[in-house]
Every structure is written in structure tokens, then in C-alpha cells.
Homo-oligomer: A and B are copies of this chain.
Amino acid sequence: MITLAVDCMGGDHGPSVTLPACRQFLSTHPEARLLLVGLPDAFAGWQAHERAEIVPCSEVVTMDDPVEVALRRKKDSSMRVAIQQVKEGKAQVAVSAGNTGALMAVSRYLLKTMDGIDRPAIATQLPNEKGAATTVLDLGANVDCQPEHLLQFAVMGSALVSALRAQNTEPSVGLLNIGEEAIKGNEVIKRTGELLRSANEANAIHFVGNVEGNDIFKGGVDIVVCDGFVGNVALKSSEGVASMIVGGLKTEFKRNIFTKFAAILAYPVLKALMKRMDHRRYNGAALLGLRGLVFKSHGSADRTGYEHALNRAYDAVRNNLLDRVQGRIAQTAPVLESAASAAAHGDTVA
């Protein structure tokens, strides 16, 4: 039996999305139990389920709450109580669609980071041209990264992808850069490239070299590593273009009676395209590097999207993601140590 603690209040829609998703999830996962954390009122319409237990709380972290409020003032929030279940061993993973900054801060405060990890990261999936998903990390949590941090992201991302995918091959890792040649990029990226090559030689990861922004969507590599600033810009820019194109399509199809007629005929085609690129299928970002599992759903996720996040969290527990991350980090320790001593040496020389 695997137990998930669900922050039922988080996200743009709260219980109206999370509770139906939880019920659907329970029906497809007979080995799962849920701890439903929320304000008592939220469960007014909830029909009892033998594998679901309500854990009442008295506060909610809003999407606009600053990190400090979530961390210091709302100590009985649904988000915090859900993570507390993981800390106390009552659940193996927590799932929330709440505000990312708050979720990371509270998770980090309650669960602490793993040995050998300086900074936890957020790994998300983006759809690619091959009809699969590319895992990108970090997304938003770490804005000033050193090469060691980026190496840790590569290692944790590899553990995540190998835990969650069907085939038993080692996932490939690319370093987000502005060109494929090893001499490209800023100083941090060049030194990161060296570290990743060393980790590849030590068989800790399968590093394939530099990739560029468009490679995220080409699907030639399983994992793309970058700092949280660059990752956020790549994600938001991509969303901006996609929404410009979709908006443009809508405007053009609505232009006159002929284009509206064309829209009716093109509708099944456009629907198939949307399905192929449906980000809901890839919902559920992992917070990696903590002494407990936390998954983050998109704030705007609908029932289907939220259910996918629950599925991913469940699979992560079932496939021992926590042990895998810890094991791989231990395996990378010699690479990091030799890098640290090389850096210290470099400092004295410089």
C-alpha cells in the first residue's frame, strides 16, 4: 500500500478539481491510500472512501502568498500539513498544486535536503516532437548556480527519468547552452561541461554534450539541465510563442464566414494536434534532492491534469525514486570531490 498526502486546497481551482481527481485516482489504483488535507468545509460534498482519510487543517497558502507567509505564519496550511505527513512517515509522497516558491520553501524546511545535495531542484516535463516528453531542470528554484549544482541536477534528473519510464535504458543528459561546441557558453557552463564529462566517464550519468533551446522540443535528449533562471525563461518564452500561435489561429479562423466554415472542417485536426501536445499528460513536476518526495501540479491543472500528477507521484514511490536519487548522488561523490579540490586549487592559483 502506498500513501499519498494531497493538498486538496492548492491550485487555481482547489477542491473542485483535486477531489474528483483523487476519486478517479483511487479507482485506478487499488494499492493506493490518500490523506486528503484541507479545510473541513471543503469536504462537504465528499463521499467517504475506504482508502481515503480526511486530515483537517485551518489555513490555506494562496497563489500570491509570499514565501515568508507560507513558511512562518500559516503553520497549519493544507500545503504544510500535507508535507508534514511525509515527514512523519504517514505518507510516502505529498502532492500540491500550490504556489511553487512556497511549496519548495516549506518542503525544504520540513524535509531538509539529502546528504550531498546543496540545492533541491524542480524537474518538469515538456512535450517534444517525438510525442514523448523532455525532462527539464531546474525550473525556478535556483537562480545562481555553480557547476556542482548543475551536476547534481543532472544526476537527480537521471534518477527521476529512469525511475518513471518504462524502458530500462540509461536516460541521456544534455547541457543547455548557446551552441553545441564545448567551447561555447559562459564560464559556469564551460566548467559544468567538464564536470558532466567526468561524471559520464564515472558512469554516473549518460552525458551527450551541449544542447540548445530548440532541442528541448526536438526530443533528441531525455534530460536538459540548466539553472533555474535560464529554465524559467526557456519555459515562459515557449509558452509565449505557443499562446501567440494558438491565439493567431483562433483570430484567423474567426475572421469571416468562409474561415469559420474551414474551422469546422479543420476542428478534428486541430483537436488531434492539441491532444498530441497536451501538457496535462506531462503534469507533475518533481521536487528533487529532499529527504522525502513532493510533487507539484500546475496551478491551472484540470481534473485530468491533476490525476496525472497523482499518477506520477505514485509511480515515483513505487519505483523507489528517493533511494535512486540518494544512490546516484553517492556514486557521484568522487566526481564532486575531485571537482571541489580542483576548484580550490584553481582558486589558490588565480
The interface of chain A, by Cβ under 8 A from chain B, is 127-129, 140, 143-144, 176, 178, 185-187, 189, 212-218, 226, 228-230, 232-245, 247-249, 252-253, 255, 258-259, 261-263, 265-266, 268-270, 272-273, 276-277
Contacts and interface: CB of A to CB of B under 8 A. Distances in A.
A236 B176 CA distance: 11
**Copies of this chain:** 2
Contact of A265 (B217, B241, B265): B265
Interface of A is mostly: helix
Contacts of A186: 143-144, 229
Contact of A248 (B232, B243, B247, B277): B277
A7 to B, nearest CB: 22
A187 to B, nearest CB: 6
A281 to B, nearest CB: 14
Contact of A259 (B185, B216, B218, B268): B268
Contacts of A269: 249, 252-253, 255, 259, 262-263, 266
Nearest to A272: B252
A143 B178 contact: yes
A64 to B, nearest CB: 11
A276 B253 CA distance: 13
